[in-house]
Structure 1
Amino acid sequence: MSISEEERIHAALILGAGAAGAAAAAHLAATGHHPLILERDFSPRIKPCGGGMAASVQQWFPFPLDPAVEQVIRRVDFSWCLSDPVVAELPGDAPFWIVRRETLDQLLLTEALSAGAELIRGVDVTDIRRSGRIWTITAEGGRQWKSRSVVIADGSGSPWPQRLGLGAKQPQTASTMSVRLEGRGHLADGCARFEFGLVKQGFAWAFPLAGGVNVGVGSFIGKQDADPEEVLAQLLPDLGFPPDAGIRQRGQLRVWNGHHRLDGDGLLLVGDAASLCDPFLAEGLRPALMSGCTAAAHLDRWLSGEQKDLRGYSRAMRDNWGESMAWGRRIAQVFYRFPGVGYQLGIKRPTAPQRIAQILSGEMGYGDIAQRVIKRLLLK
């Protein structure tokens, strides 16, 4: 007699088919656990986020990520109010990649499904609760699934970390507007742009794609005082586009704001749902992929009985990401309160562009530079 879906107990259930969730699914499927992915969207959607990530993320995957890479960044241009330029050349052996997010997500998802994962779209989860050793996930319409473990990977808007008692009790968010543009304007191949003067307590960025550009505006501390539309009206013409061009999307991005437990009994938080985004430069893809891969490794050992709990996942993310982000948050709090001083003493300092390039490429963490940078800014 066949087992109904409500009676079946999955080894692992993943909420969200984005970068973090799909990365976790691909690794879990490769170890034979056949995870089930529940995704709210009925079909893939355009994600006009920056799409930047260190090329070093390839080390975490046994399959190539190159098909999703549209630009290899070798140079980063900085400006203050569209002038006072600074140029940073990235290390030749550690470039920065730009991907189209929907392409990367689909590549990871395809690998996961080919390795044995399952995917159900159009699922709006309304309840997650544990009874004994089994989690029950309920969606609109009354559909239910049971699982030994759950990976929360449904992004910055996820309500589940707080409801389940994990992560930050009061998440810190950055206010963002992302824009997808057709054509390249004045942005050169292999060159990314950061603009610090137009956005109060934040910055704007422009990353080239194949045949397009991703532009973003973000405010990282306090509430967003600057109107992103006004910022774009100045920035886009400087990049060679009409001031009203592009597909635009507003959002709230959870950024790292303290060490918090990311695991529970058969429960893990990954990606933006875990508030892992870099609080200074807004890098979100590298921690999303890191957390998905790390979560899968710990979950595999827990499901196999090699680990008695999942606390090692929280410790690993603290050591490999959180410690650097703790310093990044301190830099952000000082820099974005005094951005003019920060640009002059930080970005324009002779060694600073190379240090930022090394951070973006994954060669260096904020802890390597933080004490000197903060002391310099505060003394000024």
Structure 2
Amino acid sequence: MSAAAGSVCDVLIVGAGAAGSAAAFHLAEAGHSVKLLERDAEPRIKPCGGGMAASVQQWFPFPLDPAVEQVIQQVDFSWCLDDPVVAALPGDAPFWIVRRERLDQLLAEQAALAGAECIAGTEINAITRIGETWQVTAQDGRQWTSRAVVIADGSGSPWPQQLGLGPKQIQTATTMSVRLEGQGSMANGTTRFEFGLVKQGFAWAFPIAGGVNIGVGSFIGKQDADPDDVLAQLLPDLGFPADAGVRQRGQLRVWNGHHRLDGEGIVVVGDAASLCDPFLAEGLRPALMSGCEAAHHLDRWLRGDQKDLRGYSEAMRIRWGDSMAWGKRIAQVFYRFPGVGYQLGIKRPTAPQRIAQILSGEMGYGDIAQRVIRRLLLQRR
């Protein structure tokens, strides 16, 4: 049953981002006692791209519209700021741009309305298994005890490796993000992907209401280009001063093989679980997917309907990991030979539609991978 004896709650969730808050909502909605522990005392700006397939709405009974700032209808690709490809996205695969801090806040608010207790300003320094329960300790000495724990504190989380969850060898993309006021020369409903300036990655520009989220990411090997140099070339092309904006450097965990995402009464979700797409850097859809999927299996486990949480790892392997295994192979070839990749991939007439279908979840990388990899390798010869 969900009612816990004494001070033991059903679930402690470490991290109130998209994945953690999604899990908190569904678990609280199912009647479990949930505490959502967040490190930041106040919402902070998250200038990540914020791209999200509209198809994620099906996982929530409340509208996500309040967090949606742009509906993308067109994608502009370029190679070294030239050789443009303009692609109209199909109407049946809409793509949203959200302001990340607003989405996280919306999900956390819905979790609280469903009955979860949200505790901000909580830096966790210990997560310990004690008998049949978990004990989570904050730096200020506060402690909570629960039957289950959800690790959802993002790419910088130390807990998956300490607790034997997720990949033993973490693969990261090196990123720099910046949020700018105003939209420069960018049109509403249009995103931009620039491939040539970053040899083993790409740069992106996603419009939000009254601004733009811009980023640079390197996806294989060490970052080979100074992101400030990339931005100094890209920003004027988008109608901004070369030195505009406050930059944030980061390390984004990307998918790196099939691994257990569950243990005894514990699961890891979102970026902490290394679920980010290793090719297109999509992180929001797998974050929300994993939070909802984890909540489903925890609900059944807490009620005694399943003996362990292995079904969560298996579900994420089927729903996400199998496609990402092919996505990783595509990334390894594409980003080693990006010029060839741009000509044979992005510039192919069907490529934009395929990218839209992958981002919307209508298609997986496995549906296109063998043809794409073969085409790239043959051309390289």
Instruction: Please tell me the TM-score bracket, short chain as reference.
Output: over 0.9
Match of 1:3 in 2: none
1:317, 1:264 → 2: CA distance?
14
Match of 1:247 in 2: 246
1:325, 1:210 → 2: CA distance?
31
Give per-residue Cα distances to partners, 1:4-26, cap 9 Å, x unaligned.
Answer: xx961010000000000000001
Does 2:48 align with 1:67?
no
2:27, 2:251 → 1: CA distance?
29
Q: Secondary structure at the match of 2:37?
A: strand
Match of 1:164 in 2: 163
2:363, 2:192 → 1: CA distance?
20
2:18, 2:304 → 1: CA distance?
27
Match of 1:135 in 2: 134
Alpha-carbon contact 1:262-1:313 (below 8 Å) kept = yes
Q: Secondary structure at the match of 2:343?
A: helix
Alpha-carbon contact 1:134-1:146 (below 8 Å) kept = yes
Alpha-carbon contact 1:271-1:291 (below 8 Å) kept = yes
- Shift in Å, 1:122: 1.4
Task: List, as ranges, runs of 4+ consecutive aligned residues in structure 1 with deviation greater than 4 Å.
Answer: none
2:188, 2:360 → 1: CA distance?
17
Letter in 1 for 2:376: L
Q: Secondary structure at the match of 1:40?
A: coil
1:122, 1:144 → 2: CA distance?
14
Match of 1:292 in 2: 291
2:331, 2:226 → 1: CA distance?
20
Alpha-carbon contact 1:76-1:357 (below 8 Å) kept = no
Report which stretch shifted further, 245-254 or 15-24. 245-254
User: In percent, how many aligned pairs have the same letter?
Assistant: 80
- Shift in Å, 1:157: 0.3
TM, length-normalised to structure 1:
0.97
Does 2:198 align with 1:199?
yes
1:350, 1:95 → 2: CA distance?
19
1:49, 1:141 → 2: CA distance?
30
Give per-residue Cα distances to partners, 1:157-176, cap 9 Å, x unaligned.
Answer: 00000000110111100000
2:330, 2:210 → 1: CA distance?
35
Q: Secondary structure at the match of 1:252?
A: strand
2:103, 2:353 → 1: CA distance?
28
Match of 1:57 in 2: 56
In structure 2, runs of 5+ residues without a counterpart are: none
Letter in 2 for 1:36: K
Match of 2:326 in 1: 327
1:234, 1:107 → 2: CA distance?
35
2:335, 2:40 → 1: CA distance?
35
> CA RMSD for the aligned pairs?
1.0
1:250, 1:171 → 2: CA distance?
18
1:143, 1:113 → 2: CA distance?
21
Alpha-carbon contact 2:93-2:356 (below 8 Å) kept = no
1:91-102 matched pairs, under 5 angstroms: 91-102=90-101
TM, length-normalised to structure 2:
0.97
Match of 2:125 in 1: 126
Match of 2:266 in 1: 267
Alpha-carbon contact 1:86-1:353 (below 8 Å) kept = no
1:141, 1:66 → 2: CA distance?
37
